[in-house]
Amino acid sequence: MRSKRCILMSDAAAIALVVAAYFMGSIPFGLLIGKKRGVDVRGVGSGNIGATNVARNLGKKTGALVLLLDVLKAAVPTFVATMLVNRGDLSIDFLTLVAIAAILGHCYPVWLKFRGGKGVATSLGVFLIVDPALAGIGIAIFAVLYVAFRRVSVGSISAAIAFPMLLWVFDRPLALVHLGIAGAFIVVLKHRSNILRIFHGEEKPV
């Protein structure tokens, strides 16, 4: 009976970690920092709460701060889940759920009627923990395309699409490949308007 109760508690704790990851991911740092500076970023530029729109309207230093915080809010729960996986207390499938929950929290925060960021920084935070070597390659892909086109969206979308391919090519666990696919899908979905502007030559540089 005691053993069975422990298993149930473990399941409850794992689910709680997924929920916590969503709520941590949903902290709208771009909005909060913007309001502290007297600007509601939802009413300027693209209206997005992410680092790119913050950088355009409040300066690159402020944008970099928001980027760092958005990376960390996904990296922290993913790190906790990774440690639990390494200890054998959590399955890798639950790790993927924790990571996706953090990304979804940023993109669809309950506090803002599910209108959040585009998932790039939070995806980066996840993959810096899950696979830092391949995350480095993803950053390099972003950097090369950003320098070439001076469009954050071009680098972001391309890196997001490339990442699950990298996970597959380098023979990472299938659960992580699925995580990469889910992350890429969310990022591309949230960049629909950017993709249209790119095709029409209307996407603004940063």
For the segment 97-123, what is each residue's pLDDT rounded down to a tens digit?
A: 999 999 999 999 999 999 999 999 999
**8, pLDDT greater than 70:** no
Residue 100: which of 25, 194, 46 has the closest Cα? 25
Q: Cα–Cα distance between 157 and 163 in angstroms, integer?
A: 10
What total of structural domains would you count in the chain? Answer: 1
Mean pLDDT confidence for 80-91: 89
Q: Cα–Cα distance between 81 and 87 in angstroms, integer?
A: 10
Mean pLDDT confidence for 131-156: 95
Q: Cα–Cα distance between 135 and 48 in angstroms, integer?
A: 24
204 assigned to some structural domain = no
* pLDDT band at 203; cut points 50, 70, 90: confident
**5, pLDDT greater than 80:** no
* pLDDT band at 10; cut points 50, 70, 90: low
For the segment 175-200, what is each residue's pLDDT rounded down to a tens digit?
A: 999 999 999 999 999 999 999 999 88
| Crossing angle of the two packed helices 60-87 and 120-130, in degrees rounded to 10 | 40
Give the pair of three-digit tokens for residue 117. 């960021």
**13, pLDDT greater than 90:** no
pTM of the model: 0.91
99 assigned to some structural domain = yes
| CB neighbour list of residue 95: distance below 8 Å, 6 or more residues apart | 78, 81, 82, 84, 85, 130, 175
For the segment 17-73, what is each residue's pLDDT rounded down to a tens digit?
A: 999 999 999 999 999 999 999 999 999 988 999 999 999 999 999 999 999 999 999
67 assigned to some structural domain = yes
Which percentage of the chain shows pLDDT scores above 70?
A: 95
206 assigned to some structural domain = no
- Structural domain for 10, as ranges: 2-199
